[in-house]
Amino acid sequence: MPRGVPRRTALRLLGGATVAGGLLAMSSPMASARRDWKPVAEAVRREYLWAWQHYVERALGADHIKPISGGREDFFVEGHSIGLSLVEAVDTLWLMEADAEVQQAVQWIKDNLSFDVDAPFQVFETNIRMVGGLASAYHCTGDQRLLELAVDVADRLLPAFTESPTGLPYRYVNLATGAVSVPETNIVEIGTYIAEFGVLSEWTGDRRYFDLAKQAMRVAFDKRTELGLLPHDIHAETGEWRNRQATVGPPGDSYYEYLWDGYVLFGDEELRQWYDTLTDAILAHQAERHQNLLWFPQVDAFTGDVLSRDQSVLAAFYAGLLGESGRLTEGRAYHDAFNIVQDEFGVIPTSVDYSTMSATDRSNALRPEFADSAFMLWLATGDEIFRERANLHFENMLKTSKTTYGFASLADVTANPPSQEDTCPGYWWSEQMKYYWLLFSDAQRFDYQNNYLSTEANVLRGARR
Ligand code: DMJ
């Protein structure tokens, strides 16, 4: 490196480099050259089916497999798994044309899955993972029983909305009794339903799902500040904001995503107007350039003052959302910024302070958002650079997370080698492996022109049966 050139600047000039003692792959300066991606697609499928086999042998029906020990782990309720990873996997297996595995998973669901559980379930997670997982499994396979189960669990979530005086859903509902709890919520957990609920309305003819989901989004939108921003915490019973901080990361992220998605899926112009209004305000009052990179700090929604320059890895999804909603310049720029983080750390830490490019949380729970936005931007532009970036994401995951019985979350991405945790989140089965597969395989069963993937990457449009 020439003297006097700061390391990060040099990396940027070179088009990317590596950290962690040379352990991780480098991004290529030839990023836009075309290449044969089929071997990468085959590797993605091979790794996925290898992990699936271990899940079946060691943890069938568990919410999570513990990939290091081969044990089982619950997600929603301690002591009561409901097959989360399996439900998350069905559409990915189907897109990979792993039909024996699809049949095995669907059979397990038919024989075992019951939502008659006397325990509080988190409404947001149950919706994006279980309603969405079953809805996408139905969309892919056409099996009516999967739709019935999606409707069953969605119906059990409805008291969270209907019992609330504002229409903003409570955070928890007991699936057996309908008892609701925890009104202290946030805009993600009140506003990430319209995709799953909307397709149920479409498929069943019952408008209630769509209407309840949209009404909750409206309550939050109507309370935007004079700057047009939304604080992220809100109270379901009073409708009052509980804080002042606006963020495109959690817990703000998928509220914005589902405004756009509601428009894309159902042609709802009002949702599009809400999305445009909020996005214009975010770009005006939240965007910040730092060392020629675009970032979205947390700001005070009432004054616009910057509160924190921490950037959650989950916020990387926003690059794709900006791109797909027609803000390609900003979407690319934000992906470029996260690409610098990938080049700097290999695996992107859970959060970084971009003003110092230092990790403020060194873990990474197999987060898919960088690959998510690479996929969305590739769909929008066809630019090979996004495949290159996603390929590096995949390679780095293989090098750091692969373990005895599957893929493990990382406790510290800066350790050499990165230290692993004995857990694999359910979304791993639905998100990044699907994005990689769709990016690299030219999948026969996917309509690349007309499709929709939910915030959990559940395919609710575009399955070609
Ligand atoms: C997933 O469950 C969904 O993408 C959700 O919207 C937030 N992020 C996790 C994965 O990181």
CA torsion sign, 328 to 333 to 339 to 341? negative
Cβ 372 vs Cβ 431: under 8 Å: yes
Residue 276: CA count within 13 A, CB half-sphere: 8
188 alpha carbon – ligand 1 mean position (Å): 11
37 alpha carbon – ligand 1 mean position (Å): 26
9 alpha carbon – ligand 1 mean position (Å): 31
Rounded to an integer, what distance in angstroms lies between the CA atom of residue 444 and that of residue 256? 31
Cβ 411 vs Cβ 420: under 8 Å: yes
CA torsion sign, 200 to 122 to 175 to 84? positive
The reported pLDDT for the residue numbered 10 is 32
Identify the residue whose C-alpha is closest to ligand 1 atom 6.
455
Closest atom of ligand 1 to 188 CA is 6
Domains and CATH numbers, the chain: 19-78+309-443 (1.50.10.10), 114-287 (1.50.10.10)
Q: Which of 385, 397, 367, 351 has the alpha carbon at shortest distance from 457?
A: 367
Rounded to an integer, what distance in angstroms lies between the CA atom of residue 109 and that of residue 88? 11
Rounded to an integer, what distance in angstroms lies between the CA atom of residue 378 and that of residue 18? 23
Query: How confident is the model over 29-38, as pLDDT tens digits?
Result: 444 567 999 9
368 alpha carbon – ligand 1 mean position (Å): 8
Rounded to an integer, what distance in angstroms lies between the CA atom of residue 220 and that of residue 230? 8
Identify the residue whose C-alpha is closest to ligand 1 atom 11.
367
Rounded to an integer, what distance in angstroms lies between the CA atom of residue 224 and that of residue 302? 9
- The number of residues making up the chain comes to 465
Question: At residue 71, what are phi and psi to the nearest 5 degrees?
Answer: -85, -170
Identify the residue whose C-alpha is closest to ligand 1 atom 1.
456
180 alpha carbon – ligand 1 mean position (Å): 23
Cβ 405 vs Cβ 2: under 8 Å: no
Cβ 137 vs Cβ 203: under 8 Å: no
pTM above 0.85, yes or no: yes
Q: Which regions in the chain score pLDDT beneath 70?
A: 1-33
Rounded to an integer, what distance in angstroms lies between the CA atom of residue 38 and that of residue 50? 18
Pocket of ligand 1 (CB under 6 A): 128, 254, 314, 367-369, 427, 455-456
Cβ 353 vs Cβ 360: under 8 Å: yes
The distance of Cα 163 from the centroid of its chain, to the nearest Å, equals 28
C-beta atoms surrounding 309 within 10 Å: 17
Rounded to an integer, what distance in angstroms lies between the CA atom of residue 1 and that of residue 171? 52
Identify the residue whose C-alpha is closest to ligand 1 atom 10.
367
Residue 161: CA count within 13 A, CB half-sphere: 26
251 alpha carbon – ligand 1 mean position (Å): 10
Identify the residue whose C-alpha is closest to ligand 1 atom 3.
456
Average pLDDT, the chain: 94
Closest atom of ligand 1 to 253 CA is 6
427 alpha carbon – ligand 1 mean position (Å): 7
Closest atom of ligand 1 to 254 CA is 6
Closest atom of ligand 1 to 313 CA is 11
Cβ 250 vs Cβ 191: under 8 Å: no
The distance of Cα 62 from the centroid of its chain, to the nearest Å, equals 21
Which residues neighbour 66 within 8 Å (Cβ) at sequence distance 6 or greater? 59, 72, 73, 405, 422, 423, 424
428 alpha carbon – ligand 1 mean position (Å): 10
The reported pLDDT for the residue numbered 34 is 78
